[in-house]
Amino acid sequence: MNGYKTMMGYSIDELQARLDEELPADAYKQVPSASYLTDIDPAQMRRVLTEVFGLCGVGWGYRYDPETVAQRVFEFTTSKGASKTRYEATVTGLVFWYRLVNDGLDGMTITCEIPATGGSENTTAAFALKGALTNAIGNAVSNLGFQESVYLGQRSHQTVGNGGNGHRPASGNGGTGSDAGAVEVKFGKHAGKTLRQIAAEDADYLEWLAENWKWEQGRKAAAAVLAHCKQAATS
């Protein structure tokens, strides 16, 4: 890959560091009901991709087969007893692509592809599909190192903008089981319950969530609660 750069002039060696650069503080948001989980503003993600790779459709982009999109509607009851309708969308056939150019080879261009899946829930069907596509793109670019520090627990909404360098101390323990336990599940047989409640009632389902929940940070929260419960059981 010597000599190859993005269409905006970033070398392979520079690419990962540029993608992991700290974003403006308001790009990091707390996930509702989970104090230690961090969401990254998708508009900021697209801005960085354009700055690094070039205009969408020219330097980077994505495609997906509509046949790989699944949508379903389900009713659930909130913790306060209210009945609501939600839409779930998943996409299993999205391909994120970006282009690299080698000026030393007469401008030879190669297109690199990353397959990805994604899922989302919303009270509006169109927003659920949009969220699933955004989630899949985020999953793809995380493999390139986009905001790697967030996924490693070294940067979050709690640290950026609060002094220091935006990273957690290496000795920090990240989220605790009790923090993650407040995350509410909005689908399935335990819809409306928190992970803490599910842990007390159905440990097998909690383990299933930790492995199969389409929402990446939801899986992490479920895994954190599961680990907390196992530690408590052996102490």
pLDDT tens figures, 55-87: 999 999 999 999 999 999 988 777 778 888 889
Tens of pLDDT, residue by residue over 81-111, are: 888 888 999 999 999 999 999 987 777 999 9
What residues have CB less than 8 Å from 191, skipping those under 6 apart?
Answer: 74, 76, 77, 185
> Residue 98's closest CA among 52, 149, 138, 41?
52
Structurally, the chain folds into a number of domains equal to: 2
**21-35, 80-94, 138-152, 162-176: which range is least confident on average?**
162-176
Among 118, 134, 168, where does a domain finish?
Answer: 168
Q: What is the model's pLDDT at position 172?
A: 32
* Average pLDDT rounded to a whole number, residues 175-192: 72
Res. 177: pLDDT tops 50: no
Among 134, 168, 202, where does a domain finish?
Answer: 168
> 137 near 62, Cβ under 8 Å?
yes
Res. 173: pLDDT tops 60: no
Same domain, 26 and 135: yes
Same domain, 136 and 50: yes
Q: Decide: helix, strand or coil at residue 212.
A: helix
Q: Is the pTM of this model over 0.75?
A: no
